[in-house]
Chain A
């Protein structure tokens, strides 16, 4: 069965702190795709990153970085030097080779960055 777990429901940090959002997934497919989306209060889901299961290279984009560990089925997201504008709900999601049109989402982590 496919499943995405974001165990952290809410995280609160002070501006400039680093914060890591955890994501653990379950899938039977050998080829799959992992995503992170950001949802600000306006509601739109903003695409942040896509990672293919055959590419375990970690990625950094500005203050954002992602750590993909196939051995532990985790795809964690770190924000360095957090800012108030980072406050949002963050979703981790999975799609499988057998059905790439369907995203399976975690419950989401609400991040609050205080000034």
Chain B
């Protein structure tokens, strides 16, 4: 069983819909991430949360809105998406510490999103 769980695993939404992706980590980590994997691009970082505070926004369009209520939960709110936003969205977590050599990022199974 993975330490990072994502729901839903599959989502089909229209361009005018509003939906959310949910992620929960059971590893006691203090940092959580959203990555995007689309067919034509390598895996790319979208957002980083460290102790519930957003520390990185990798030039992501505002139609993607992250929320991190605590260090175990992470959401990605979606609204007015485009068909090109169809992709696999992967949540991940890690323990950021001064001993950065300990920092391994663990991923969930991903949410397959299709925008129609």
Interface string of B96-108 (1 = CB under 8 A from A): 1000110111111
B33 within 8 A of A: yes
A16 within 8 A of B: no
B88 within 8 A of A: yes
B31 within 8 A of A: yes
* Most central of A35, A45, A50, A108 by chain B CB within 10 Å: A45
**Are A33 and B101 interface neighbours, CB within 8 A?**
yes
**Are B45 and A103 interface neighbours, CB within 8 A?**
yes
Give the size of the chain A interface in residues (CB under 8 angstroms): 24
B contact face: mostly helix, strand, loop, or mixed:
strand
* Most central of A31, A95, A102 by chain B CB within 10 Å: A102
Interface string of A32-50 (1 = CB under 8 A from B): 0101010000111111001
Task: Tell me the residues in window 25-81 of chain A with beta carbons closer than 8 Å to chain B beta carbons.
Answer: 31, 33, 35, 37, 42-47, 50, 52
- Say how far A33's CB is from chain B's closest CB, in angstroms: 7
Question: With contacts A43-B88, A43-B110 known, is A35 near B104, CB below 8 A?
Answer: yes
Task: Tell me the residues in window 24-54 of chain B with beta carbons closer than 8 Å to chain A beta carbons.
Answer: 31, 33, 35, 42-45, 48, 50
**Are A44 and B107 interface neighbours, CB within 8 A?**
yes
A45 to B42, CA, bound (A): 13
**Are B42 and A50 interface neighbours, CB within 8 A?**
no
**Chain B residue with the shortest CB-CB distance to A50:** B104
**Are A101 and B50 interface neighbours, CB within 8 A?**
yes
- Further 20 A-B residue pairs, CB within 8 A, beyond A45-B43, A45-B92: A35-B104, A42-B109, A43-B90, A43-B109, A43-B110, A44-B107, A44-B108, A45-B90, A45-B107, A46-B107, A95-B103, A100-B103, A101-B48, A101-B50, A101-B55, A102-B48, A103-B35, A103-B45, A105-B43, A106-B42
A residues near B (Cβ < 8 Å) are 31, 33, 35, 37, 42-47, 50, 52, 91, 93, 95, 97, 100-103, 105-108
